[in-house]
Structure 1
Amino acid sequence: MFGQWRLRTRLIVTFVSLILLGFAGLSLLAGNQISAGAVEDFERSLAAQATLVARSLREPLEHYVDGEASFATMQTAVTDLANDQNLQITLIDTDGFAWLSNDDSVGNVNLSQDPEVQAVLSGSQNSVFDTRANDQNIDTIYTAVPISEDGYLLSIVRVAAPASATASIINQRYLALAGGVLALTVLAVVAALWLSASFTRPLESLQASALKLAAGDLSQRVSISRQDELGQLGETFNHMAERVEAMLLEQKAFASNASHELRTPLTTIRLRSEALRDGGLDEATTRQYIAEIDDEVARLGRLVNDLIQLSRFDSGRAELGDEQIDPVRLGRSLCQQLQKTAVAKQITLVLDAPDHLPAIQANQSHVRIVLQNLLENALKYTPEGGEVRWRLALEEGYLRSDVQDSGMGLAAEDIPHLFERFYRADKAHTRTTGGAGLGLPLARSIVEFYNGRIDIHSDGVGRGTTATVWWPITSSS
């Protein structure tokens, strides 16, 4: 049942329960201390009163001993003090016999065996307290102090007060404790309500935004007003929402672009096929249409192959190669392979690399896809008479590859989108060269699959482009 409650309710119940349990334990401990402390305080007060009574009776007692005061005078002094201090006062001689009291029930009895009297007779300097029932069977606290002159004991003053007086003190302190606990409990409950609200309010906002996001509102974000774990959770949600929105928008764009890229060659193939089927074409036109169909089929093949490769790398289904690849040897092979294209466009293709570089571990076809794509792009977008320079070097544990061309360059606003699928900075130019905008996304997927990095840099339109790849060097190298 507890698990079915709302989080705020569970937090409040938990906080309040812990607070009440804590206060109950503290009250129990405090209660024991209150009882013991009240008795100690009352005994100290009783001892102080006994000392005061002894000082007040010393002079009358001296006069009485000297015969200068009557017994009635002593009786009056004792009675007045007893009434004033609200005590029972008894005077006891040096043999332990009571000889004067404000209480008529106390006669000339031997009290020497009472603990408080025995302590004074023995010369003890410490006050002794004893609680016992008096003649009326009422619990009473007794203590006694000496009245001395020049070191000689004249008499003993015993004072007594009902033990119920301590109960009154204890009750007063318990009431004060209960009031304090009640006030603290109210404050603690208010604090628990505020604290639970501060915890759950951001979570409720996050839940509402998550539900709206799940319903299709991709613009949902939560406001961040704190820097703790809940604030970090909100930032994580916003980051996730941005990623989801970007991914969905990318998927929509991908579906639109993919359908467009597939529709164009299919339309060409269909139109040329219908023309060939209808007949009536001369031999030259027939050969031209067949060649166009072959070109479009090849283009479709490249497009589908690139999409399959992208899907494998993005889903993690591609396998890491374990071939030890010599980058210098691979570079020379690719330059030789592309030299014919460079010569046809009167472009100078230069490989700038040392005689030896550490090997990289990968599938050679994967490395070829990346580097060949960058080189072909450089040749494709460099005008006749230009130059493509390819540098290979070792840099901080990576093989660094820089493909620099003197071609058409890139606008600053195009660079952030170059790795988006089907994105083309110069769509008209790309159409004529057969590109679909999948080469760079595929290259990045492969490089990142091997924990490398890829970057495209251009100083602007007409100022060339540099494509840089950092490929991890094999540790054994």
Structure 2
Amino acid sequence: MMPTSVRTRLMLAYAGLILLGFAGLALLAGRQIAQGATEDFQQSLEAEAALIARSLREPVEHVAEGEEPRSTVETAVAEYAAQQDRRITLLDPAGRAWLDSSGSLPTGSQSAQPEVAAALNGRVTHDIRADEQGTQTVYAAAPITEDGDILSIVRLSAPLTTTQALVAQRWLVLAAGVGGLTLLALLASLWLAASFTRPLRQLRHSALQLAGGNLAHRADVTRRDEFGELGQTFNHMAAQLQALLEEQRAFASNASHELRTPLTTIRLRSEALREGTLDEATARQYVAEIDDEVARLGYLVNDLILLSRLDAGRAELGTEPVDVARVARGLLRGFETRIAAKGLAVSFDAPAELPAVAANPGHVQVVLQNLLDNAVKYGEENGRVAWHFAAADGQLHVTLTNSGPGIASEDLPRLFERFYRADKARTRTVAGTGLGLALTRSIVQLYHGRIEIDSPPGAGTRVQLWWPLLQN
């Protein structure tokens, strides 16, 4: 039996429009998510191939000249493959495989494969095709060169299902969000159906604009009754959807902010080791620091999407014991050049037996690096930076202060907003993405910690961090 109630017919009609609108937005966002995740994975595989090629240049050269045994390269390749969860194959300049982390060498010349052909021409690229078992796989290759000559080719491969799982996870988050918003819209339609049809037509027009891709469109809200409130709610929903899509696009452009410091540290330490002027103890220390940075690079791709996963409640807690003071000391060594350039006096105070915290080491490094980066970046010339670590009441208490102009009181409540910059005139000349503090707070809250910033104008800035200690 067809419904005869005007309210019911209006409610069902409006519900249909809402569902269609959100379905269109979900499809649009879903395509962007799938495309973005696949492109990010392909680019990260290319970057990993190039990084491993640079790291293996010296070992491969020494093996080729008979200065070191082949096992040196085999060990390095096995470590990289285990760290990155990738299959790594080394090819000679003729495209024939001479080492494979899986233990199974591809037969015949691989020079006809697009990624290998590009690497033989000095370029880094990727290709997607089925592997020997018929699994769709992403391949990326980079050349190992010496004075312009190709010594070998590094090829990385990983199944495309790696990105498919990530896309499926994002689809679930998107479906849940759209479902929740749709439910709210259906409830609101009960109020709309009881009143005049003019506000319905206005909101229908706004919904169609939004579904058509005009995310900047907002409903014209002038009433002060329930229709006005509904219009404001619709506009708030549209603003949140627009902000969500813009944040997803901004992650790619902000990747350089997260990658710059570890890549610079690796380059500087590698150059120092290549010069061969370091004593044995310092050389071992530099190699250890390079290993730490290379391992952390494996986490950075996930860190870039960490905010969205935290918002969805799907980020996993790390449970490894982490020596926070050791991580901080390593960061200070990486910041030595910047600290010296500003003439900063740095004090570091940590107990010899500081208890560990349970966390993902990459999460701890991101938090401390963001805080130290801000302390150095916004500290005054020839000023002071003080880093203090203590443990009390089951919490690790970290205090980082600098001397400088401080932060205006009206800016303090907004410091943790994504991409917010307190001193816009000054930050035009200061590197950064405006994402660091937002990511820092989200990570700290993930581990049930808290972070506070106070900064009296003209008296510098103090950041306090509380992080639960590892429970025995």
TM-score range normalised by the length of the shorter chain? 0.3 to 0.5
- Of structures 1 and 2, the larger Rg is shown by 1
